[in-house]
Structure 1
Amino acid sequence: MGSAKGMLDAARSDIGLAGRPNKFTRAYAKEHGNEFLRAPWCDMAITYWARESGNEKAVLPGGDRAYTVWHAQDFQKADRWFKGTTDNVNKAEPGDIVFFDWGATNSTGAIDHVGIVEKVLGGGRLQTIEGNTGDAVRRRVRSSSVIAGFGRPNYDGKEPPPPSRPGTKAPKWPGRYLTQPPIMSGDDVRTWQTQMKKRGWRLTADGRYGPRSEEVCRSFQREKGLKVDGVVGPQTWRQAWEAPLT
C-alpha cells in the first residue's frame, strides 16, 4: 500500500538530479521506446516516483504518463480533479499532483508541466518538487496564476472520489449572442465574465467582450464538449452556471 509520504520521500531523494538521459528517461524508454531517452521528463519523473513508492494505482489512474495533458485528463475522468483557482490551491494537500500552464489558463488542453505538492503556503501558493525544471529535479514555489489544476491521488485506496460539484441554475439568457469583433459591452457581458471568474477562469469582468473573453469562451467550450466558436449563445451561457466545476 502506497502513501503520500512515500511518494514525497521518493521525490525528495532525487532533488538535484540533472541532465538527460537520466534514470527517469531510461526507465520510460525501456518500457515505451528509445524516443523518450532525451524527451521532456517532468511526467516521467512522476511516473517513476509513483512506481518506486508503490503508488501507481493512485497517482497513475490511466497508466504511465509522459504527456501531462493526458495525465490531467486521467484525474478528470476519475473525478479527482480540482481546477487551479486560488481557493482550490489553498485547499491542496501534500502529495497532490499539480499541473501548470505557463499561458495562465485553467484548460487541461494547455498544460505544459507537472510536479508534486510538498507544502501548501497559503495565498494561492504551493511549494512543489518538479522534474525537468531547469533540466533538473528541484523545489519550486508556484502561484495559482500558473496552476491549471491538480489531481488528488487516492493513496490509501479507501477514500471515495470527491463528488462532482454541480453548478447552480443559470439566469435567463439575455437574448443576444456575445461575440467579437466589434467588441460588445453591457451588463450581460459582465454577468457572464463574473461567473467565469467564479469558475476559476482568469479574465477581467469589465463588461467588454474582447479577445480575452473570446479566448476563455473557446477554452470553456472545448473543455465541456460544446461547439467551439467563441460565441456565448444559449448553451454556453447555461453551461457557465450549470456544468460541473471540473
Structure 2
Amino acid sequence: MTAQTMLASMRTLLGLGEPNYVQRWYQARNGADYAGNPPWCDEAITWAAAHSADATDYKAVCPKGDRAYTVYHAEDFERLGEWHIGTADQVHQALPGDIIFFDWSGSNDLDAIDHVGICEVNLGGGLIQTIEGNTSDACRRRVRDASVIAGFGRPPYRNGPAPTPPKPGQAPRWPGRYLTQPPIMNGSDVRTWQQRMKDRGWQISVDGAYGPASEAVCRSFQGEKHLAVDGVVGPDTWRAAWTAPVT
C-alpha cells in the first residue's frame, strides 16, 4: 500500500530539528526565496513524498508539484475533488496517509490554513494522530481534534485507500503504558484519554498531564462502570472509555 510507504518516509523525519536538510533540499529545488529557516511543515510532506519507496507517492501527495504554502496545497486537493472538510462529523472518515490541514483559529476556510501534517492513525472520537514537521521546531507526532482541523486531502494512492479507521465507539489501541501518578505523566496518550472522557461528559482538562484531577475522574469512571477502582488507566479502563455505554 503506497499510503504505508508515504508514512514510512514521514517517520524517518521524526525528531528532526531545524534548520535541517529538508529545508536545504527544498531551497535547492525551488530557489533562494526558501533559504534560511522558513516554515517547513509542507516542505516535510513534499520531501517525504519525493523520498518515498514508492515513486507514485509524490504525484499522489503533490499533484501540482512541490508545495511549501499550505493553502495552495489544500486547493490542489479541492480542485481534484479530494478535499474533505474538517467538521466533527467528517474527521472520523480520515484515513492513514491522508494529508491533514489545520487552522488554529478553528475555521474550515482553506484561505485560513496555517499548518499541515499526515494522518498516521485515526483514534476515533474526533481525534487524529499525526506526524507533522515544524511543530515546536521539530518533526513530531501529535494528537489533534476536529476543532483545529480545517480539512484533509485524500491522495489518490495507486493501490487504493489505506485501511479503514476505527468505527465510531471502537477503542483505539491501548498505548501500552499505565496512566498513573505520581509523578505526573505527560503525553499524547494522556491527552487522547482526557479528550475521550471530556467527550463522554466528564469535567476534565485536556492538557496531556495525568495529575490528581485526571486520577479523580478515572476513579469515578471506574466506579460507575464497575471496574477495579485504582485510579490507573490500564487496558480495561482505556477500552471502557470508548466501548462502555454513556449514562
Please indicate the TM-score interval, normalised by the length of the shorter structure. Answer: 0.5 to 0.7
Structure 2 counterpart of 1:11, which letter? M
For structure 2, the 5+ residue unaligned runs are 162-247
- Whether 1:15 and 2:17 are equivalent positions in the alignment is no
Cα 1:52/1:109, change in 2 over 3 Å: same
- Aligned match for 2:88, one of 86, 108, 119: 86
Paired residues, number: 157
Look up the match of 1:46.
45
- Whether 1:150 and 2:166 are equivalent positions in the alignment is no
For structure 1, the 5+ residue unaligned runs are 160-246
**Are the aligned partners of 1:58 and 1:154 in contact in 2 as well (CA < 8 Å)?**
yes
TM-score (norm 1): 0.62
**Are the aligned partners of 1:4 and 1:155 in contact in 2 as well (CA < 8 Å)?**
yes
Partner Cα distance (1:10, 1:145) in 2: 28
Q: Tell me the percent identity.
A: 54
Look up the match of 1:28.
26
Partner Cα distance (1:94, 1:85) in 2: 18
Structure 1 counterpart of 2:9, which letter? A
- 2:122 counterpart SS class: strand
TM-score (norm 2): 0.62
Partner Cα distance (1:4, 1:118) in 2: 10
Partner Cα distance (1:158, 1:145) in 2: 28
Partner Cα distance (1:158, 1:99) in 2: 21
Partner Cα distance (1:121, 1:146) in 2: 16
Stretches of 4+ aligned residues off by more than 3 angstroms? none
Structure 2 counterpart of 1:99, which letter? F
- Per the TM alignment, residue 34 of structure 1 is displaced from its structure 2 partner at its CA by 2.3
Partner Cα distance (2:156, 2:51) in 1: 17
Considering only aligned residues, what root-mean-square deviation do their CA atoms show, in Å?
A: 1.3
Look up the match of 1:99.
101
Partner Cα distance (1:24, 1:62) in 2: 19
Partner Cα distance (1:13, 1:46) in 2: 12
CA-to-aligned-CA distance 1:18-61 (integer Å, 9 cap, x gap): 011x1111111001112313110000000000011121110011
